[in-house]
Amino acid sequence: MRYLVLALAVWLGTFVSAQAQTVQDILQVHADEIAKPSRRSVSVALDDLVASGLPQVPVFLEQWSARNVWQRDDGQFFIGDADGDDLALTDIDTGAASFALKSEFTQIRPNGGVRRVIGTALVQFQLSDPDLGRRETAVASIARRPEAAQLAPLLASIEGEPDAALKARKVQLANFLSARFADDPADRIAAINSLSSDTSVEARSVLNQILTTEPGVSASEPEGNIARVLDPMIDPDGFYAQLVEAELAPSRTPPDVIRAALEANVVEGRVGDVPVAQLGTDQMREAAYAQLADAGLVASLVTVSDRDAAIAAHVFFETYDEADPTITAAAEAALASVEQRVAFAQAADLALDGLSLASIYFLAAIGLAITFGVMGVINMAHGEFIMMGAYTGYVVQLFIPDYTLSIIVALPLAFAITFGAGVSMERLVIRHLYHRPLETLLATFGISIALQQLAKNIFGTQARPLTSPGWLDGAWVISDVIQISYIRIAIFILALLFLALILYVLKRTRLGLEVRAVTQNPGMAASMGINPDRINMLTFGLGSGIAGIAGVAIGLYAKVTSEMGTDYIVQSFMTVVVGGVGNVWGTLLGASMIGFLQKGIEWLNPSNTLAAQTYMILFIILFIQFRPKGIIALKGRAAAD
């Protein structure tokens, strides 16, 4: 009974002592390490602080890292805020506020390395902090500087994490840290294998860090986890320099040293027994230098043969920093799988970019395809109708601040304005120039310049914003590699809607029937009661109106300026010519071909977009040489022309 009472008393004493322990008590035990911290010495103090579990520890660590901890002359530590010669103090344990003279205190200034160690300890508290923002900050800190000590607290915090997104992020980071720092090799290999389907940059970085190598050289078979054996003859001088650095071979004698030694040892027109007149080649200079070396006048000569012999006598290799070959083998297999997935993802992303660009070119060119195919008019002002549509959207947004509603209003209004402009242009100019293509080209080019100048006079030369609705902000992110902006998706959908609408108009309406009749045989169409002059007017207006709608769509992501039409007129004509004049499906195929081709060339030559466009134009020229009527040749008047 007496022993039981004694044991209980000892336990109670220990409990009371533990309860009485404060942060200040721990700091006083490690006062020297706190006052003059280093990365090595501070770890013991941090371990004791973390092990105490006191709620004041995270606050102290934050203030310590921020250099807001001060030590009084008697050795006590406080959190302080300097104000001139005064110091506003906060007690570390009680939070009591007081004031003192700054001269009685010394500021604790941990360096960058110590602050990183403090941050690692602080993360352990922040991972389970009630505040979501602090937990997110802790996870972001681990992602920036992963360390082995962070794995255990990160794993412990996953179970009780209430936020689903943050919990998934913690699991992902724990997987990354396990792949690099887990104690059990089986756990590391399991984590590495799970990364074989992760195409993120972080996953690839983890695998590459596991597979880091160091160069090595040996006179015998290398030992350790060998990554690869190297062929030294691909760069003999570089590998010989590695031998010299490893003190396995003497330095080669540079040519300037040989020349200086020969000049210093010329005696009666000779160096050794070699006349100066014969020292014009490297071989003779080395022979003369060798004689000097044999006489002990200069250092020994290391020739090319000596270099090659020294290289042949050694094995050059790279060893993994990771000693366990099973882990590096798993990492190599996982990285190969990831790189294959990344290659497929990059191809898919490139295809999405090509599809997006094709939809833009289709919208820009479909109106031109109609006018060019039906009327045979080379309209160089087509780009300015695109510009007019974009400016219409900008003006509408000045009066309607709701961006969604403004776009809904701008689309039909842009069609109406550019339809009217197209009809006016056809009635006033184009109809007088039918069957005179050169004069039509010159006239529409002049109108193009006039419209650009008119836009500059009205809106100025600065780019004007055409803001997309909030629901079009951002991008659809499929993976770290595959993503496409919502604006481009909207343009793609708009292109599909226009394709369906135009096909319906041409195939299912009387106007479309008359347009196709005039396209195929205008004389026969006139004899059947169709007015070709009216059809030409409506067709030109329709093509111009479609260009106006395309301008609104393009203006949502491109700059709206008076010259924006010139950025699309060349591509529009190429799209129409390549696809087949006057054919909707041909225009679609032409836009797809040019869009995918341009993106493919840009991928091969990403540093020079202008060169990519040049190569694309050259390819189109070659294509037209073999298929002058385009992908889908039109029958009728256009074909005859």
DSSP per residue, 383-422: HHHHHHHHHHHHHHHHH---HHHHHHHHHHHHHHHHHHHH
Is the distance from CB of 36 to CB of 42 less than 8 angstroms?
no
> Tell me, what's the pLDDT at 609?
64
Q: What is the pLDDT of residues 221-275, one digit of tens each?
A: 888 888 888 888 888 888 888 888 888 888 777 788 888 888 888 887 787 777 8
Average pLDDT of the chain, as a whole number: 82
> Tell me, what's the pLDDT at 20?
47
Is the distance from CB of 389 to CB of 548 less than 8 angstroms?
yes
CA torsion through residues 157, 158, 162, 164, sign: positive
Residue at a domain's end among 174, 193, 212: 212
- CA-to-CA distance for 372 and 379, rounded, in angstroms? 8
Lowest mean pLDDT among 205-214, 535-544, 604-613: 604-613
Residues 360 and 494 in one domain: yes
Residue at a domain's end among 564, 579, 598: 564
Tokens read off for 155: 């794993």
User: How many domains does the chain fold into?
Assistant: 4
Q: What is the pLDDT of residues 581-635, one digit of tens each?
A: 667 888 888 888 888 888 888 887 766 666 677 777 788 888 888 887 777 765 5
User: Does residue 357 register a pLDDT over 60?
Assistant: yes
Amino acid at 553: A
> Tell me, what's the pLDDT at 9?
38
When pLDDT is cut at 50, 70 and 90, the band that residue 638 belongs to is very low
Which are the contacts of 296, defined by CB distance < 8 A and separation ≥ 6?
A: none
- The phi, psi pair for 303, rounded to 5°, reads -90, 175
Residues 73 and 160 in one domain: no
Is the distance from CB of 166 to CB of 139 less than 8 angstroms?
yes
> Tell me, what's the pLDDT at 304?
77
User: Does residue 38 register a pLDDT over 80?
Assistant: no
Strands (E), 35-181: 69-72, 77-83, 86-90, 97-101, 105-107
Residues 367 and 510 in one domain: yes
Which are the contacts of 313, defined by CB distance < 8 A and separation ≥ 6?
A: 219
Q: Which residue in this structure is represented by tokens 């914003």?
A: 465
Q: What's the rounded mean pLDDT across residues 381-388?
A: 90
CA distances from 342 to 143, 197, 334, 607 (A): 22, 10, 12, 21
Residues 282 and 312 in one domain: yes
Residues 368 and 285 in one domain: no
Residues 105 and 152 in one domain: no
Residues 197 and 218 in one domain: no
**Between residues 618 and 385, the one the model is more confident about:** 385
DSSP letter (8 states) at residue 37:
-
Helix (H) / strand (E) containing 29: helix 23-29
- CA-to-CA distance for 583 and 587, rounded, in angstroms? 6
Residue 512 belongs to some domain of the structure? yes
- The phi, psi pair for 542, rounded to 5°, reads -65, -45
Residue 616 belongs to some domain of the structure? no
Residue 582 belongs to some domain of the structure? no
When pLDDT is cut at 50, 70 and 90, the band that residue 141 belongs to is confident
Residue at a domain's end among 91, 116, 141: 116
> Tell me, what's the pLDDT at 440?
85
Residue 349 belongs to some domain of the structure? yes
Q: What's the rounded mean pLDDT across residues 88-112?
A: 85
When pLDDT is cut at 50, 70 and 90, the band that residue 373 belongs to is low
Other beta carbons within 10 angstroms of residue 586's beta carbon come to 24
Which are the contacts of 201, defined by CB distance < 8 A and separation ≥ 6?
A: 480
Q: Which residue in this structure is represented by tokens 């298929």?
A: 627
Amino acid at 419: F
Residue 556 belongs to some domain of the structure? yes
Which are the contacts of 538, defined by CB distance < 8 A and separation ≥ 6?
A: 423, 511
Residues 13 and 155 in one domain: no
- CA-to-CA distance for 48 and 30, rounded, in angstroms? 9
DSSP per residue, 144-190: HS--GGGHHHHHHHHTT---HHHHHHHHHHHHHHHHHH-SSHHHHHH
Containing structural domain, residue 172 = 127-212
> Coil, helix or strand for 442?
helix
Lowest mean pLDDT among 317-331, 355-369, 513-527: 513-527
- The phi, psi pair for 519, rounded to 5°, reads -65, -45
Closest CA to 156 of 142, 170, 140: 170
User: Does residue 569 register a pLDDT over 80?
Assistant: yes
Tokens read off for 53: 């579990």
Tokens read off for 239: 């590998």
Residue 633 belongs to some domain of the structure? no
> Tell me, what's the pLDDT at 437?
79
List, in sequence order, the alpha helices (H) in 509-605: 510-520, 522-527, 532-555, 566-579, 584-604
**Between residues 77 and 282, the one the model is more confident about:** 77
- CA-to-CA distance for 540 and 424, rounded, in angstroms? 10
Closest CA to 484 of 357, 394, 398: 357
Q: What is the pLDDT of residues 452-491, one digit of tens each?
A: 999 999 988 888 888 888 888 888 878 777 888 888 888 8
Which are the contacts of 188, defined by CB distance < 8 A and separation ≥ 6?
A: 178, 179, 180, 182, 327, 330
Residues 226 and 205 in one domain: no
Residues 89 and 140 in one domain: no
Bridge partners of residue 69, in order along the sequence: 79
Q: What's the rounded mean pLDDT across residues 79-84?
A: 84
Residue 239 belongs to some domain of the structure? yes
Residues 203 and 225 in one domain: no
Residues 412 and 539 in one domain: yes
Q: What is the pLDDT of residues 281-335, one digit of tens each?
A: 877 887 887 778 777 777 777 777 888 888 888 899 889 988 899 999 999 999 9
Number of H helices, E strands in the chain: 27, 12
> Tell me, what's the pLDDT at 610?
67
Residue 193 belongs to some domain of the structure? yes
> Tell me, what's the pLDDT at 212?
92
Is the distance from CB of 377 to CB of 542 less than 8 angstroms?
no
Tokens read off for 115: 């602050």
